[in-house]
Amino acid sequence: MSWWSIAAELVKGAMSVSQTRPPRLPEELPPNGLNLAELLQRYREQVDRGFDAISQTIQEQNQQYQRALKLQRRWNYGLLAGLVAVAILAVVLYLRTV
């Protein structure tokens, strides 16, 4: 899988998320007493929340992919079992007619 397809999947997944997000409060100007360290701390908290949301979305996608892989594996085994049964039946019918 190429990086472009991974990026496209992430964008498509992000666009299809129907979770309601909390309303964003209007940005307030910091009071005069607020120093740079507090502003940086606020920014880091926002970045951490963003990364947490992204990692949760990725985990949910991974779980969906795992479920799809299990279902696909079961389907493949079922098809293989059916194919083997038909092949055995064909051999038995052929040997009966000979």
pLDDT tens, 67-78? 999 999 999 999
Interhelix angle 3-16/36-97, nearest 10 degrees: 110
pLDDT at 65 over 90: yes
Q: Whole domain around residue 91: which residue ranges?
A: 73-98
pLDDT at 26 over 60: yes
The pLDDT value given to residue 66: 96
pLDDT at 16 over 80: no
Domain count, the chain: 1
In a domain, 93, yes or no: yes
In a domain, 83, yes or no: yes
User: Cα angle vertex 37, ends 48, 30, to 5°?
Assistant: 90
